[in-house]
Structure 1
């Protein structure tokens, strides 16, 4: 502690002196009365000593000044008793110097005024009184020595001057030595005193913290103190511990602890492992902390968190255990629930993606250790989205719950099924050394999941596609194996769904090709790589052209001619079909302006495009820009649009119909046919898929019945029918006999360029003229 800081002349940067100033002034306040009494008593002695040598009135005036100063100062200093709790600045610290400065001046006046008129004995008495006050001030100002400094310097200087004027040089030296000693001693005493006060303050703070913690502990109803003796019988049962035991204090006192928390006749084999752990600690007389123990309290299962330490007497002999405990049942159940949610799917109660990943990782490690194989199967439900969109998510969730039950029923030893998310499930087969196991499990899954489901009095049909990968052959890591199984699943769905496909390395090439195609397709419109071709639709009566179906073709700079079967699914998956569809409609309408007025143009519209908020506005803009009459535009849609969002699709098509355009239902009978939307929405045309045409040509009774039913329904609803895929004379004649209004197929023309389509009309005109 620097001397200047102790004296209050400056503050050191590394110490909070505003706090220490309070400690210093607190000491001054404690000695205020003693200091006041000492000055008054010595003042009276001085007056008594000089009464014969000096005017009594002057002496009384001097004493009155001394008494007034110290009474006022003493009362003010007494208020500093509690200053240790405050923070005080240097300015506040220096205010207390008023009394020692004034007192020094008054005593100096006595030395300089009274001494010249007094005898040597009287002077010695006065100096002795001052010396006593200087010495006593070392105690009075033990922590704040600045008061002693100013008092000693003022009175010492006055005494030295007085003795010097009288020629007592030896007394001058004596005064100087005493003042210097007092000042030096006061600094050391102040440093020691202040350090002591700081230590006391710290101890006091610690006591307050400990007391606060104890009060908080006592007030916390979830915790209690417990104690047992060497026989493990509970002692000094506190009210809270008794409450935790579900008993009264006197009922629990002296009872064996393990009878109270485990059951009186509980066998060791029936104990929870945590109870055995607690017993081991007590047998070995070891400390334990935050030990989770499952207990039975009055037949109810609870979780306690216990800490304990062995009790030993002064001779080191073990005399029991003492500790604290708390009931953490709710926290434990909450953490168990969180752990469950982290590893299990809440809807199906199957292991979730994280647990499936862990299980697959363990299977790969096992396969590597034993030089065997494991397998991973990815399962995707077919037609589930249609159920979810048409019947709602609640029905979809109930269906998923039934699917999970069926999957679980198929699992054998070393097999685990889980839900990856949505309608995707997975199966981990720990031992797939016999490759037949994989195909057998996959086929069982497809067969069982394809059986009808009964949900809310409705019969639902969904299927399943399965992709599989063998580890470590098809992937040495979890990520590789899952990615390759996903590629196999995609291939299974691409092959027509409802089947199983095992991973082969060539799938990577297909995936890479798809990725490259997607990148190129994103730039196809800007590069003007897309073109339109037109396939004629003719009247079944006279073979005249009534419309053309616009078909998009892609001739890529990087990949050459790309089949629509490849790039259209990619466009739909990436939503590139929306800008492509807009372009097709605009180009088709523009080209239709070059045809005769009675010839229509058919434009296929994807569900992604139809479900756009502004689809009807786009049709209006297209017709306005090209000048094509609305009745010459026929929008072709498939039944799948009504499985996405039937209300939005119907509203969009009704707006299109209101414009005067026509709407055709394409591929009728191949999807999820429902007569409900045919009744609600007046289609202009129903197109019979080519599979029924080919079947009818082969005398398939079912195909014939379907075509007859479609024709009859269309006629009753004032709709026309178009048969697709006519390639032979026999098929054309059959279609005419069955009553279809229009025919489309290679027999009448393959998809052709716009120029070739125009040439057809010129040729027909030339033939008519001829």
Structure 2
């Protein structure tokens, strides 16, 4: 590879040829980059460097390029025939000349220009080094002698003691390029050495295969007119484990039947062979089992009848081969095509075949067949925490339990992942289906002991029955899936049968999703702003941005209806980004002390580009980061991944305010408040209503939240204040800010602008 020793064998010579092919393929890139660098130096440094020095350097650079071209062309003119180690050394001479030329350039112009020129010089040098590293990567000697002078030239560029960190950084960069070249060269050598060895082995294998074909891997056989073996070959006899004398004169069918001859239970292939022999007709590729030394082998036979010159039948002559390996491989492939390799249960396609047959057999009769979809509860958490190996063992145990539950005519299988299914060819009634489903849930929910772990999962089941819930397998699967979806919504661990309204709800949701996607494309959505005021003075201190959707045909659609659809359809992120950008652009028109609050979903926080999106929205709108408040709910902390916390810390670092929405209604934990510096805690309207009615629990919760927020330096916002009683109550309890219909319903951007500079009397009251 380095060219410092002689080429020892043909494999090394092939590697050498590959090196030069790789180097020649990118040589043009190197020459073009050098010419562009020459032009760049004249453009940038001609005003501050001696023309004589630049001219001399230019001649040296062009001379180095011409020398490299001459050396490479003389080698290529001979079609790389007779390459030797000296050609690598010649190639390195051209690289050394180029490296010295650029080192000289750095010494000439290093201290001639200002800071901007030095930045330009470093940019050019780094490009030249990268281009050189790429073009000489396959020839490590050339890469070394090119990069080392460039590294030496860096001393001149950053010779000032104050530039020592830059010098160290630049040198590290150049050494990294050199190390990368050496690593690539080693990988290149190994790869092409392996290729050369593989080519030699291929030639040896081809020679052996030719000898094997000449020797013959098959064997010939023939019978007389009475279908008895005659002229038995030695290979035929060895394959049968007999001698040629033992085969001579024996009936062919009897020999092939082996021990089955006495019982008369012949394989179908043997019956077919006997029929062909009896009818005296040719056959080919007839595969049948043959008993040899107590083991079953698979043979493939082909033969044609023989006739003498007078047309008298003489028997058969044919060829046979042992195809046991191919047959076993085909059986394994068929097994894999129809059965799940992990659990051994029938797979999705096999289940579909059985369901198709059951539907066809049942016809339109009532009751018909039934289909159950089984989904494991909490399996993903086990798979994520304990690993896929434990998860696979758990699935295998689930499969064994499912088989125990389906001891009758039921047919169970695995659809994929943690989903299983059961086909009941003749389901007596819905009660029997429910009983089987409850049995399966009970079995699958019992404790699992796997590798010392006690595991607990559950199962949810959705069922559908023909012909009521579907007249074909596709409809039954869809109906069972909808029923399973309903079981999951009901908390899991239960069985739900299909009901017609499930399809209607699914269709409604599908149409709503399509309409929502269209709304995003056609900008049918808009943003309303609900005021947030100081509890004591009633002064507007901010607005909460709320997405609203008015469909041209369906009219206004509630957020409670379209937000869950957006979350499930993965549309919440684009909607949230649009609301963020719209709200920031609007808030710029408000006074500097008025904030805008935007709700952020857990999906947005886990997206890698969310922080960049927020920064972009602030930059495009010109809004001060301190005037943006992002509202999150406690659900973002439920994931084991700490990514959401890291994103929140980055947002806080930008100066953005954070608000914890609906505190106390979900998975409340003081740990959330200790891990993230929230600006505001929002108290849900349900507590406000309860406290206004004198409910002790609600009053206690609000007092506790206010006290907690004050101790942590946070503000509190009471949501949903709608009358004087509620306002007086939250003021008395110490809430700093208030939001609700009492101070204003969600309003358009124009109405929000109208609140300034003078606040309406109602807000001042």
TM-score (norm 2): 0.57
Alpha carbons 1:260, 1:297 under 8 Å: kept: no
Change (3 A) 1:506 1:399: same
Alpha carbons 1:390, 1:645 under 8 Å: kept: no
Alpha carbons 2:743, 2:762 under 8 Å: kept: no
**How far apart are 1:602 and its partner, in Å?**
3.6
Question: What do residues 106-157 of structure 1 show as CA deviations (whole Å, max 9, x unaligned)?
Answer: xxxxxxxxxxxxxxxxxxxxxxxxxxxxxxxxxxxxxxxxxxxxxxxxxxxx
**How far apart are 1:516 and its partner, in Å?**
2.9
> 2: distance between equivalents of 1:320 and 1:352?
48
- The within-5 A match list for 1:295-694 is 295-308=290-303, 322-368=317-363, 372-382=367-377, 384=379, 397-450=392-445, 463-525=458-520, 528-533=523-528, 549-592=544-587, 600-637=595-632, 646=641, 649-664=644-659
CA root-mean-square deviation: 5.5
Alpha carbons 1:729, 1:747 under 8 Å: kept: no
> 1: distance between equivalents of 2:255 and 2:707?
84
**How far apart are 1:623 and its partner, in Å?**
1.9
**How far apart are 1:613 and its partner, in Å?**
3.9
Change (3 A) 1:400 1:296: same
Report the equivalent of 2:105: none
Q: Name whichever of 636-645 and 417-426 sits farther off.
A: 636-645
3-state SS of paired residue (2:297):
strand
Unaligned 5+ segments in structure 1 are 1-214
- The within-5 A match list for 1:177-256 is 219=214, 221-227=216-222, 235-246=230-241
CA radius of gyration, larger in:
1
- 1:752 counterpart = 2:752: no
> 2: distance between equivalents of 1:244 and 1:334?
21
Alpha carbons 1:376, 1:485 under 8 Å: kept: yes
Alpha carbons 2:300, 2:323 under 8 Å: kept: yes
Q: Name whichever of 723-732 and 256-265 sits farther off.
A: 723-732
Alpha carbons 1:389, 1:644 under 8 Å: kept: no
3-state SS of paired residue (1:586):
helix
Change (3 A) 1:626 1:411: same
**How far apart are 1:581 and its partner, in Å?**
0.9
> 2: distance between equivalents of 1:608 and 1:705?
33
Alpha carbons 1:600, 1:632 under 8 Å: kept: yes
Question: What do residues 196-246 of structure 1 show as CA deviations (whole Å, max 9, x unaligned)?
Answer: xxxxxxxxxxxxxxxxxxx99973744212346799875533233234224
Question: What do residues 484-515 of structure 1 show as CA deviations (whole Å, max 9, x unaligned)?
Answer: 33333344444555444333333443333333
> 1: distance between equivalents of 2:240 and 2:689?
82
**How far apart are 1:416 and its partner, in Å?**
1.9
Alpha carbons 1:720, 1:740 under 8 Å: kept: no
**How far apart are 1:471 and its partner, in Å?**
1.0
Alpha carbons 1:723, 1:744 under 8 Å: kept: yes
3-state SS of paired residue (1:517):
helix
Unaligned 5+ segments in structure 2 are 1-209
3-state SS of paired residue (2:413):
strand
> 2: distance between equivalents of 1:312 and 1:364?
54
3-state SS of paired residue (1:414):
coil
TM-score (norm 1): 0.57
**How far apart are 1:326 and its partner, in Å?**
1.0
Alpha carbons 1:541, 1:741 under 8 Å: kept: no
> 2: distance between equivalents of 1:267 and 1:691?
87
> 2: distance between equivalents of 1:313 and 1:359?
54
Report the equivalent of 1:87: none
Change (3 A) 1:432 1:599: farther
> 1: distance between equivalents of 2:228 and 2:327?
27
Alpha carbons 1:530, 1:552 under 8 Å: kept: yes
**How far apart are 1:328 and its partner, in Å?**
0.9
**How far apart are 1:619 and its partner, in Å?**
0.6
**How far apart are 1:519 and its partner, in Å?**
3.1
Question: What do residues 227-271 of structure 1 show as CA deviations (whole Å, max 9, x unaligned)?
Answer: 467998755332332342245656766778678766559852776
Change (3 A) 1:434 1:341: same
